[in-house]
Structure 1
Amino acid sequence: MDTPEALTHPALAGAAHGFLGRRGGVSQGLHAGLNVSYSEDDPAHTAENRRRAGEAVLPVARLLTCYQIHSPDVVTVTAPWDDADRPKADALVTNQRGLLLGVLTADCAPVLFHDPHAGVIGAAHAGWKGAIGGVTDRTIEAMEALGANRAQIAAVVGPCIAQKSYEVDAGFEARFTAEDADNARFFKAGRAGHGWFDLEGYVAARLAAFGVGSVGMLGEDTYSQAERFYSFRRSTHAGEAGYGRQISLIGLR
């Protein structure tokens, strides 16, 4: 049996964490591997994949995820819930041990947070809508409400679609430059009416601008690594009927 691949970053060394891909799971076909989404896959496969993901990062903890809606909304977790009752939001924070916070992605940027001094963690799903909408800002504020200090928070952006793989139209770019003209630096010119967007760089810069003490990036492109990661855009370009999702996890030891 393959073992799930859990990528880590030294900035988060004080917390149990891992950015997982598609290796080490039981799903078949289009979703082959460690697909953790219930939306298209066999529920039994998804449940087993989630179990394996949790075991790979913090075996004794209860894995919790949200019903993600590309929002800036954050849930402060005080007690576990059943998967069927997961709240609609795109980020989670907690200061409770025994809980493993997870976000699902398939090109969007997963961001994991830890304040080792306050014992507070967070996880955010930052697609372009959530990123420009402030999901990382709101996550930091929710952590502060639990006693964290943003200057002591480490945040790491995990595997997501890279600029070289993320072509967008002029209207997309205009949304970002209307918000802040300086956002033009996250776009590289392409064919007429199009450009290439650096989602990872944008999210990292937003974290730094909001005062996070340490910001890291894994620099892993989900689109170009079909054997390691699921990718919505790659599956769309291939005309496939569906796509899987990977998970990024963090918990207090």
Structure 2
Amino acid sequence: MTLKPVEAKNLHALAGIKHGFFTRQGGVSTGIYESLNCGLGSNDDQTLVLENRRRIGLHLGRDEATFGPGVITLYQEHGTTAFEVTEAPSRDALPHADAVVSKTPGLVIGILTADCAPVLLADAEAGVAAAAHAGWRGALHGIIESAIREMERLGARRERISAAVGPCIGQAAYEVGPDFEAAFVSRDPAYARHFKQNSKSGRPHFDLPGFVMSRLAAAGVSNTENLALCTYENESLFFSYRRKTHRGDTDYGRQISAIVVA
């Protein structure tokens, strides 16, 4: 099956930037990982995961002769660290960070998700790209802002940055507890607008992509796009940690969102 990643119109329009929010389709994994599982932290056959990642790198034009196959990702930990890469790190020594930034042509960078929000950013004029992993913790505590600051350090300007929020869990599927909501509202009462009470359960539902979009706007990024695709609801296209949990599955796959300065 051919890879058919979802693309954001605002990033697609940028000269010298290639990207894709990849689905679970077009890979070689089987069973619960079918088929484009890119999570090296899963219990999937690592050979199959590496082949899936190789296909994504080729799709985006990675310079394999210089950097080897695949996509550079991080040891993600729901933090706020942004890290620049100029070459492929050892698999045994991945940077502990949740945003990866690069201005090296041909070096494909990405982040893994399975309900958290993937955010791809680029300043085409400066030739700087970034991928950020924005779960609720990272989004609340500043991963978006960290990624933008690291991009600026490499010559980007936030008023020129284009950013897109990819497939993640939608508000209808993201039921949380009152303590969760309180943690947000205690930081800023205006964050209450990102919660909606479920009429049946009476529990709040959190709008993760809407919150991430608001953080981008507050950071001064105006050219933004929300793909508004729910990972939980679209099983044929996306892996979902929450869906796995509700079903009692033993493990789950991860999709990748990647970008490159061409």
Which TM-score tier does this pair reach, normalised by the shorter chain? over 0.9
State the superposition RMSD in angstroms.
1.2
- Please tell me whether the aligned partners of residues 65 and 83 of structure 1 are also in contact (alpha carbons under 8 angstroms): no
Aligned residue for 2:155?
A: 147
Q: Which runs of 5+ in 2 are unaligned?
A: none
2:20 aligns with: 18
State which of 245, 251, 257 in structure 2 corresponds to 1:236. Answer: 245
Q: Does the alignment pair 1:121 with 2:120? A: no
Q: CA deviation at 1:5?
A: 2.2
Paired residue secondary structure (1:151): helix
Per the normalisation by structure 2, the TM-score is 0.93
Distance 2:204 2:243 in 1: 18
**Contact 1:27–1:33 (CA under 8 A) maintained in structure 2:** yes
Match of 2:32 in 1: 30
- Looking at structure 1, the residues matched to 159 and 36 of structure 2 have their Cα atoms a distance apart, in angstroms, of 35
Q: For 1:113, what is the secondary structure of its paired residue?
A: strand
For structure 1, the residue ranges without an aligned partner over 5 or more in a row are: none
Report what 2:58 is aligned to.
Answer: 55
Residue 4 of structure 2 is matched in structure 1 by 5
Question: SS of 1:123's equivalent?
Answer: strand
Normalised TM-score (structure 1) = 0.96
Aligned-residue sequence identity (percent) comes to 45
Is the aligned partner of 1:220 residue 2:220?
A: no
User: Paired residue for 2:119?
Assistant: 111
Partner of 2:187: 179
The SS at the match of 1:99 is coil
Task: Please state how far the C-alpha of 1:78 moved relative to its aligned partner.
Answer: 2.4
Aligned with 2:140: secondary structure?
Answer: helix
Which one has a larger percent strand, Structure 1 or Structure 2?
Answer: 1
8 Å Cα contact 1:108-1:127 kept in structure 2? yes
The one-character-per-residue Cα deviations of 1:155-188 (angstroms, maximum 9, x if unpaired) are 1000000001100010111111111100000000
Q: Give the structure 2 partner of residue 201 of structure 1.
A: 210
Give 3-state SS (helix, strand or coil) of 2:74's partner: coil
